[in-house]
Structure 1
Amino acid sequence: MSVVSIGVNHKTAPVEIREKLSFSENSLSDALDRLLDQPVILGCVIISTCNRTEIYAHVTDVESGIETIRSFLQHKSGVEPVMIKKYTYAFAQHKTARHLFRVAAGLDSMLLGETQILGQVRTAYQLAQKHNATDKVISTLFRQAITVGKQARTETGIDQHAVSISYAAVELAKQIFQDLTGRSVLVIGAGKMSELTAKHLVANGVSGVIVSNRSYDRAVCLARQFGGQAVKFNQLYRYLEAADIVISCTAATHYVVRAPEMQRTLAENTGKKIMLIDIAVPRDIDPAVGSLPGVKLYDIDDLQNVVDNNLMERKRAAIMADAIIEEAVEEFSRWQGIQYVVPTVTALKKHGESIRQREMTRALSKLGDLSAHDRKIIESMANTIVNQLLHTPVTRLKEYALTEHGPVYQEAVEKLFLPDNPDDLDESDRRAVAGQPTKEKRGKQPKPAARASGQH
């Protein structure tokens, strides 16, 4: 028995393969049921996002479990088996736990340390729970992954450093204004980068949005997204007076904001503090504007320096997060190893107890009438003999369960100490020592009429 993970992500497969292997929200329930119809699979969770599809499963055998899941993906997607094997990765045992913990902590994401994936891991687990697709091992693995994901972010701050150009602009704005609540932004140009930067600023408290673009219709469309105001391009300087932050990203081949005009605008607003962010190449804002009183001017290189420095911070935080993850992997592996030998230990103790009771009954029947004191001594001696005989194999088995050779020692203990005749064990013990655990009972769940929105 083992936990395995089979999947694809942005690093291992092109988008045309990832999209074929992805699961829509409505298909996940049926996919979980189909996986659990396979005898080798005891419990499973499917994570399906924009950049990854991964199936985590508790299986009775590693090789057949991985092959079964790959076959399931092949039939689901229509991708040839050879291509499934080429593009998917597979992990087993502690490597599965390490991979999931890294995913939950954002260490395996396209954007190092991103936060959305933790919610996606949680949603995937909750959906599997809802459909009775998890067992004890899978539930423990995912609960620990969610805890590790939170701990990695809290203790390392890996998600606290902006690593996108648009969000770096927000970080610089916070350094200048501290609190962005109630501030206003003038967006020059209606392209994607301007839109993203404005979106981040509004999310951080900016309330007034003014958009100016050579195409007035596009300015209107962008302003409408933020409940803002569109203005004609030839009225630009008039509205500069009202702005605290200016974002400029146009396709102009000359300066859009020039120093003389900006100087006149500031002269009418003595003491005004204004931040200008020039994302355009070639630049939209005359560099001389940056030397005017009260002006902070940043160009694309300044923002890229912020991103580069923050990325280094995230990489340092990732090293700390990896240390947290390794501790968690060891903890899960220890728990898992013990769980796998518990049936053998239980069967061993039951067998020892049955021998003790049988031989006690036989001996007491031959000894005739005994005083309560003598009877107590004999019973105590029998208990002590059985406990001492079992103590070493049980203790050693639990120790060896934490090593890669655990299954070998488990089998050796069963062959050395448990009876060959299965009739000497009850049904649960026979299945346990034969490595045939029963799945938790799963009633077919009625499918909801409609589902809430989930992973993306």
Structure 2
Amino acid sequence: MTLMVVGLSHRTAALEVLERASLDPAAAASTVSAVTACPHVEEAFVLSTCNRVEVYAEVTRFHGGVAAVGEALSRRIGLPLDELGDQLYVHYEDAGVEHLFRVACGLDSMAVGEAQILGQLRSALRELHASGRGGGALDRLLQTALRVGKRAHSETSLDAAGASLVDAAIARAEAVLGPVAGRSALVVGAGAMSALAATTLARAGMGVVVANRTPERAERLAAAVGGRAAGLDALRAEVAAADVVVSCTGAVGHVLDVAVVASALLDRPHRPLLLADLALPRDVDPDVATLPGAHLVDLEGLGADLAGTAVADDLRAVRTIVTEEVAAYAASLRVADVAPTVVALRAQARHVVDTEMRRLAGRVELDDATRAEVDRAVHRIVEKLLHTPTVRVKELAEEPGGAGYAAALRALFDLEVVGGAAGAPRAGGAPLSGSVAEAVGRTP
């Protein structure tokens, strides 16, 4: 068996698709039941947040697992799989482990570094246990991901990364506009990153307007920062009235295109406009930067502004943590896969010793003390002979490709291994990532 994750997030899917894909606990349990009904899927869990829906599964067949998860999500969302396929991504083996660890650390969130995802992981772990599927490979993976996420937040100041991006945007605005206190800001979106932006802008003394496709969410966020709510249908007028626009909606496609911004600029001649695009994928058409009076900065530009700062150091440190933890997890799986081979080798040795001791007892009359001493001596000899190869094969198994040494032991000693280690693919093979549409053409 091996790990596979199929999902969609703010990086790949349209907002309306994400909303339709949102799973409450009952729907998540139903999705898991549908997925595990497939003969190629051994166990699964769902990670569902406002920005992502992902199904993690231990599978015996790659294509069968992809098809089962894809069809379950297709039914849930109400879109044919061939239409949904390009919005779904697939990660396999090490790439799946790395993806989950990045998610746990907040590196894949709209608000970089947010820690709320750890709560979602805990919920997924509780659901896994409640369903009676705890104790397996996915249980271990979730617990490791939780530890990795906690390590990232305890060893770095990653929690401040999102706020630092907004601070960098304000610094850009001050370079263009001068002091921002008393000026107006438009925040497009009402998610976690938008809430962080609205709060930071309000603290800087700016009047905040929140525009969102869902009026209730815009009103809640605006009320929290003492601002005003607006609908996306009034976007052009709100852009025209603002000095700073910060956009982070999670939509696929440009929320602010050249036509909207160019039209808004006509109503504010000689007044520069700073637009900060904090979204992935981008909310603001990059061509907006060519418009006179428009000053556009995106995540790449803000990241460059933060280069050399503590935030950049923290991001690098977290990426290093993820890389280390993925390697350690893969090594632990390889060692675990070797364990049944070592157990089988030692069991075979005990069987040979016991057989020979019984044969000896039938041919030579020994008193109990002598028989016990001979038995201990033979067992010590066997233990010493096996000690170095069994310890060494575990050490070698920690390295990529180390499973070959266990395979050699099984071949040399003609071992029958009970368990999933004998040749089963594990994390540590060629990692695969991409969309469902691409994945169906692969043969891992």
TM-score normalised to structure 2 length: 0.61
Q: Partners in 2 of 1:393 and 1:65 — Cα distance?
A: 37
Q: Deviation of residue 383 (structure 1)?
A: 0.9
Choose 1 or 2 for highest CA Rg. Answer: 1
Q: Deviation of residue 352 (structure 1)?
A: 1.9
> Is 1:383 equivalent to 2:379 in the alignment?
yes
Q: Deviation of residue 166 (structure 1)?
A: 8.7
CA contact (8 A) 1:60 1:435 kept: no
CA deviation map 1:96-127 (0-9, x unaligned): 22111111112122343233333333333333
- The amino acid across from 2:409 in the alignment is V
Please name the residue that 1:414 is paired with.
410
Please name the residue that 1:337 is paired with.
334
Q: Partners in 2 of 1:393 and 1:62 — Cα distance?
A: 34
User: Number of residues paired by the alignment?
Assistant: 350
- Structure number with greater CO (CA < 8 Å, separation at least 6) is 2
> Is 1:365 equivalent to 2:335 in the alignment?
no
- The amino acid across from 1:401 in the alignment is A
CA contact (8 A) 2:186 2:242 kept: no
CA contact (8 A) 2:4 2:92 kept: yes
Q: Deviation of residue 135 (structure 1)?
A: 3.4
CA-based RMSD of the aligned residues comes to 4.8
- The amino acid across from 2:390 in the alignment is V
Q: Partners in 2 of 1:311 and 1:46 — Cα distance?
A: 35
Match 2:393 to one of 391, 394, 397: 397
Please name the residue that 2:118 is paired with.
118
Out of 344-353 and 96-105, give the one that drifted further: 344-353
C-alpha spacing 1:106/1:416, structure 2 compared with 1 (3 Å) = same
CA contact (8 A) 2:6 2:66 kept: yes
Q: Partners in 2 of 1:164 and 1:49 — Cα distance?
A: 22
> Is 1:200 equivalent to 2:199 in the alignment?
yes
SS of the residue 1:159 aligns to: helix
- The amino acid across from 1:99 in the alignment is H
TM-score normalised to structure 1 length: 0.60
SS of the residue 2:347 aligns to: helix
CA deviation map 1:25-58 (0-9, x unaligned): 4301112223333344333221122332222223
Q: Deviation of residue 355 (structure 1)?
A: 1.9
C-alpha spacing 1:106/1:201, structure 2 compared with 1 (3 Å) = closer
CA deviation map 1:211-235 (0-9, x unaligned): 99xxxxxxxx8999469899xxxxx
Please name the residue that 1:102 is paired with.
102
Please name the residue that 1:151 is paired with.
151
Q: Partners in 2 of 1:359 and 1:14 — Cα distance?
A: 70
SS of the residue 2:102 aligns to: helix
SS of the residue 1:110 aligns to: coil
- The amino acid across from 1:157 in the alignment is S
Out of 53-62 and 361-370, give the one that drifted further: 53-62
Out of 144-153 and 127-136, give the one that drifted further: 127-136
Q: Partners in 2 of 1:61 and 1:194 — Cα distance?
A: 40
Please name the residue that 1:56 is paired with.
56
C-alpha spacing 1:229/1:113, structure 2 compared with 1 (3 Å) = closer
- The amino acid across from 2:97 in the alignment is A
SS of the residue 1:133 aligns to: coil
State the identity %. Answer: 28
CA contact (8 A) 2:185 2:242 kept: no
Unaligned runs of 5+ in 2: 174-180, 210-218, 229-237, 244-266, 272-293, 425-444
CA contact (8 A) 1:166 1:193 kept: no
